[in-house]
Amino acid sequence: MHKFFAVILTLVLILSMTASAFSAPVELIYTYWGSPLERDAQAKMCRDFEKAYQDIFPGIKIKDIYIPSNYDEKINAMVAAGEPPHVAQLGEALSLEWAEKGILLDILPLIKEDKDPSVKIENRLSMTWYWYDKGKKTIGTNLAPEVMVLWYNKELFDKAGVPYPTSDPNAWTWDKFLDTAIKLTVDRNGRHPGDQGFDPSNIDVYGVAFGTWWAAILPFIWSNGGDICDSEGKRPLINQPASVEAIQKLADLMLKHHVAPTPTQMQAFPALSVALQTKKVAMYVDGQWALLDLGQMGKEGRIKLGVAPLPKLRKPVCLELGSPNVMFAASAQKHLKESWEFYKWTTDSEKVISLVRGGLWMPLQKWYYTDPKYREKWLDPDVHPKEYKPAVIDYLLKYGRRAPSYYLRNWGKISDIMYQELSNVWLGKISAKTACDSIATKIKPLLTGRYDR
């Protein structure tokens, strides 16, 4: 009888070991957003990871879910259903709020245990880290650093006989920028703003265009010496003279000088990258990420592309921003080793160099900026304009300032209020001062400090 039970026990152990050896491969869920080109690039990144890690994690799969619209709503639904992704891009407004609630994983212990230099805090650009719990915890860095810059179509400059914008942020002043925009703005009769008979209701080419979301506005406020709030995130400064003046100058580009389209006029435009390529706009303010589409147009010979720093008002400022890549605690901890390796892959510029060379991202690791050997790895002369290093890299390293989305509490609500209140400024219905006074009143109760202090 004892022998019989011993045989049964042996069989059970063998079967359990066999089942373990042939357990189902791990499947990680990764969610992200972006343009169709970004979708293709990120999907390739996932396939590359699967291929590279087959020996370490046999059969591993990344279920990449592309969410081009209503991203926050869909992620909220996944979390509410108890099925969050393992790794994901996440909007800044949700990230630190969810981190404090324990929905996202604090990865600082994983960083400390890992010997991989690419993930070490000291080896990534310091402004890219998302800290919380008074700086004692982190959800990690953004997926890639991004900066706001000025893209331009060199063919329109050549046709008008106008010099290209300088790559020196100190020399590229607001007055020079405005003069350039006036010379490049042309109505359907070939007249410029200030010319007798100029028709602002029938403009064929605008000198400049810019979005009216916070990242397109804030660098000009900073450049003029203003801000949304004080450094502790407790007191509004948006209604102070320097902030108001910067916003009014932007509105004047549309309403007084007629060198930029209003938001209403922009509704008739295609995407700004297409407007630049089709010569409806000579310059436009956008993130570095626009290079993924613009660079492809350049490679195909559809645009002669240039890039410059943003014009300065009082001092040069480079706004650095970027949505974080995060690990969701509930799901990632079930497959922690696999999730961590995939997270590292998505934020290791060496592993995703094709995305960086393609123009979508900038590298996170410092050596890609300071070491010429590494710069050559990601600067593609067929994609990156020849002035890219001084106009973007040097601009970031010398004048970079992290966006408030990295640290300010209630940032999503604050930025929404700004957008709503300023919308009537761009339409000429109210002054910048009136809007900024209203913003200051509405955001005051939301200014409850910073996540990192």
Please say if the pLDDT value at position 16 is more than 70. Answer: no
26-144+322-365 in CATH: which number? 3.40.190.10
- Tens of pLDDT, residue by residue over 349-365, are 988 888 899 999 999 99
CA–CA distances in Å: residue 166 to residues 172, 380, 398: 6, 21, 16
Residue 104 near residue 329 (C-beta atoms within 8 A): yes
pLDDT band at 5 (very low <50, low <70, confident <90, very high): very low
For the residues 313-317, what does the mean pLDDT come to? 99
For the residues 78-95, what does the mean pLDDT come to? 96
Q: What angle do CA 76, 78, 81 make, to 5 degrees?
A: 105
Residue 234 confidence (pLDDT): 98
Residue 284 near residue 211 (C-beta atoms within 8 A): no
Residue 185 confidence (pLDDT): 99
Q: For the chain, what percent of residues have pLDDT higher than 70? A: 95
Query: In the structure encoding, which two tokens stand for residue 225, read together?
Result: 């010496």
For the residues 169-188, what does the mean pLDDT come to? 99
DSSP H helices, 118-240, are 154-160, 174-184, 214-223
State the DSSP H helix or E strand holding residue 306, giving kind and residue range, or none if neither.
strand 305-308
Residue 306 confidence (pLDDT): 99
Please say if the pLDDT value at position 18 is more than 70. Answer: no
Look up the CATH architecture of domain 146-321+401-446: 3-Layer(aba) Sandwich (3.40)
Ranges in the chain annotated CATH 3.40.190.10: 26-144+322-365, 146-321+401-446
Residue 23 confidence (pLDDT): 64
Residue 6 confidence (pLDDT): 45
Residue 373 confidence (pLDDT): 97
- Tens of pLDDT, residue by residue over 266-295, are 998 888 999 999 999 999 999 999 999 999
Residue 446 confidence (pLDDT): 99
For the residues 51-75, what does the mean pLDDT come to? 97
pTM: 0.91
Helix (H, G, I), strand (E, B) or coil at 451: coil
Please say if the pLDDT value at position 389 is more than 90. Answer: yes
Distance of alpha carbon 99 from alpha carbon 92, whole angstroms: 11
- Tens of pLDDT, residue by residue over 182-223, are 999 999 999 999 999 999 999 999 999 999 999 999 999 999
Residue 12 confidence (pLDDT): 39
According to DSSP, residue 118 is labeled G
Burial letters 27-38, b for 16+ CB under 10 A, else e: ebbbbbbbbeeb
- Tens of pLDDT, residue by residue over 101-129, are 999 999 999 999 999 999 999 999 999 99
Residue 69 confidence (pLDDT): 95
According to DSSP, residue 348 is labeled -
Q: Is 101 exposed, middle or buried (0-12, 13-18, 19+ CB in 10 A)?
A: exposed
